[in-house]
Amino acid sequence: MSNVQRQDLTIFNDQSVLSKSLFTEGLSHLLFVTHRLGTSPSWLINTITESYIYGIPFSLNESNTSAVNRKAVCTKPLVIASFIHESAYFTSSLNKLKIDSTQYRILDFLTDFALKYTGNPKEKVLTELINCLSKQSGRILILEQPELLIPLLNITSDELHLNFINPLMKMFSVVVLVSSVEGYENTNADSGEYQKKDMIDMIRYTHSCFHKSIVLLALKPLDTGRANDITGTLRITRGGASPSRLPVHVVENEYLFHSQRESTKLFYR
């Protein structure tokens, strides 16, 4: 693969990963990242983080690892909140990329979460989480696996969307939702086949995310299984939200990517 040309990641037609026009006061946009077993999204989270802070994803493709020309272009910090990873997980990987730690905040909703919150009234917990996030006064939020709140607090997908994700969208110009779709299976809803409650909530959750999102970034392994020089595919497709308030549009694309030793390279499919 070494002789194959590496590709820059572009999501919007202004050649950007995160277009500047996404950050319009009073409007909010959602990006939906899905992943599966075998393709952890950590590199994509790093890429989005870098793109926001420096305007360009430096570490991708090892294109420019020198920290010389780096100048933060953002005015407000980026917030990462995760329900599955502790904060050290992010700080260590972002430190390795030499990202200015003043530019981001990390909220750890893994450590002690279950011990602290299980059994508490769900409305109270959600309000507390929202308050916690609003204090960060960030512009972009990367929210990892909020769907875990459904079983954690015993709420429905609708409650999660209306009482948690929607309020967050009002606080941040851009919300990047990162969710696992491993196990998702929606056999035709009108076939009348019995679906378990958990699955219904998962379907409703992902559907709502789709219809809210301006773009879908789907990571998945190759259908053929493991390969030595390819980790999986990143497919960029339009989401279900109206793009009419956005001057740019999504460039649909499918990349092959290869993650190895904490660096990721992109190729065209």
Residue 92 contacts other proteins per CB under 8 A: no
Residue 67 contacts other proteins per CB under 8 A: no
DSSP string, 30-78: EEEEEE-TT--THHHHHHHHHHHHHSS-SSGGG----STT-----SS-E
At closest approach, how far in Å is the CB of 87 from other proteins? Answer: 10
Residue 2 contacts other proteins per CB under 8 A: no
**Site for other proteins, residues 206 to 265, rule: CB under 8 A:** 206-208, 210-212, 216, 218, 220-221, 225-228, 231-232, 235, 237-242, 244-245, 252-254, 259-260, 262, 264
Residue 267 contacts other proteins per CB under 8 A: no
Pick from 33, 169, 178, 266 the residue near other proteins by CB under 8 A: 169
At closest approach, how far in Å is the CB of 126 from other proteins? Answer: 12
Pick from 15, 63, 101, 118 the residue near other proteins by CB under 8 A: 118
Q: Record the tokens describing residue 163, joined without a space.
A: 């009482």
CA atoms within 13 A on the CB side of 4: 15
Strands 213-221 and 232-238: antiparallel
Whether the CB-CB separation of 205 and 23 falls below 8 Å is answered with no
Residue 154 contacts other proteins per CB under 8 A: yes
Residue 163 contacts other proteins per CB under 8 A: yes
At closest approach, how far in Å is the CB of 139 from other proteins? Answer: 15
Sheet holding 263-268, edge to edge: 104-108, 78-82, 140-144, 174-180, 29-35, 213-221, 232-238, 253-260, 263-268
By beta-carbon proximity to other proteins, the closer residue of 42 and 103 is: 42
Strand boundaries in the chain, DSSP class E: 29-35, 78-82, 104-108, 140-144, 174-180, 213-221, 232-238, 253-260, 263-268
Residue 77 contacts other proteins per CB under 8 A: no
At closest approach, how far in Å is the CB of 122 from other proteins? Answer: 11
By beta-carbon proximity to other proteins, the closer residue of 75 and 185 is: 185
Residue 33 contacts other proteins per CB under 8 A: no
